[in-house]
Amino acid sequence: MTASGCVTVHGELEVVRAATRSEAAQALADFTAAYNAADKAYDPALDADQVTGPLGAINQAGLRARHKNNPDGNANHRPLELTDAKYVIPKKAGWPRWFVADTDSNRDQDSGKQDTRWLFVFVRSGPDAGWKASYLAVATPTRIPEFAKDGDGWATPVASDSAALAVAPEDLGAQYTGYLQKGTPDVFAPGTSTSAWRTARLNTRRAGFSYQYIDQPLNSGAFAPAGLETADGGALVFFSSKHFERQTAAQGLRPAVSPDVAALMTGEVRSTLTKERVSSQLVYVPKKGAGTGKVIMLNRVPGLTSAKGS
């Protein structure tokens, strides 16, 4: 079951809006309150019911690590404020249902920081389930394309297997991880999270240490891609992936372990340290045959979720 697909559950065939605007606003308010409580206490239990998917994996692991290193909580807590919310709500049949909250945060109000928008995907898996935030992406307003909407202002979801796009949403994870591993297929425009990151990994050098990388797509359940049609026929798509980095030391040396890594680590580091990260990506996918045909990476949010020593 994919977040962007048209799914029939319990005989619900009618195409309806995924949420009302008041429901969307309440979901955002509930998430923000829980997120702030969890961040203040460094307690993952306080927002566990409000997050899922890649955002949930990153959020919960980060809170567990910070709680272990700071059991008294976050002495520097600054409440997250999400304002000027614009809700992009698609019409679709069945479950899961989802929408995007396009918000302004107080995290870029410090002098010298560029204005950004925080985009959240909220997912509801069934009629008895609550709304949970599954994706977060941060992008400047000028990079967010205009969404296609009907006469009533509702958005259009993109099918996960859409043949109208340069790359179908369900293929983005495999294309991205395949590119990082082999350099092909080269469907992504050059950028810091595509060509530059691959080059940096290939050229990682440190005397006495070797590095290996494994990348895997994440496509199912709450990690499924979510895409909305844009006014030009393309799509804005959220998708997720998993990335492993293994550092192996020569005899007599040991990989360094930071406190955040140690807090999530199993085993003992003798010669090898393997870090596991979950990553969510926001991309613009052009319609098939348009422009260069390249997928543009707008944002990538990675987070350490576990580590293993051996």
Give pLDDT tens digits along the chain (310 positions): 344 444 444 446 788 999 999 999 999 999 999 999 999 999 999 999 999 999 999 999 999 999 999 999 999 999 999 999 999 999 988 899 999 999 999 988 664 677 899 999 999 999 999 999 999 999 999 999 999 999 999 999 999 999 999 999 999 999 999 999 999 889 999 999 999 999 999 999 899 999 999 999 999 999 999 999 999 999 999 999 999 999 999 999 999 999 999 999 999 999 999 999 999 999 999 999 988 899 999 999 999 999 999 9
Determine, yes or no, domain membership for 8. no
- In whole angstroms, what is the distance from residue 76 CA to residue 97 CA? 36
- CB–CB of 255/273 below 8 Å? yes
Determine, yes or no, domain membership for 200. yes
Q: Which domain covers residue 298, as residue numbers?
A: 16-309
pTM of the model: 0.93
Written as six digits, the tokens of 243 are 């990335």
pLDDT score of 110: 60
Of 93, 87, 97, 88, nearest in space to 3 by CA: 97
Of 129, 255, 234, 152, nearest in space to 189 by CA: 234
Determine, yes or no, domain membership for 45. yes
Determine, yes or no, domain membership for 115. yes
Determine, yes or no, domain membership for 10. no
Residues near 12 by beta carbon (within 8 Å), at least 6 away in sequence? 93, 94, 95
- CB–CB of 131/157 below 8 Å? no
Name 221's bridge partners.
none
Q: Is 105 exposed, middle or buried (0-12, 13-18, 19+ CB in 10 A)?
A: middle
Determine, yes or no, domain membership for 53. yes
Determine, yes or no, domain membership for 55. yes
* Residue 213 burial (CB count, 10 A): 14
Determine, yes or no, domain membership for 100. yes
Written as six digits, the tokens of 278 are 């979950």
According to DSSP, residue 65 is labeled H
Domain count, the chain: 1
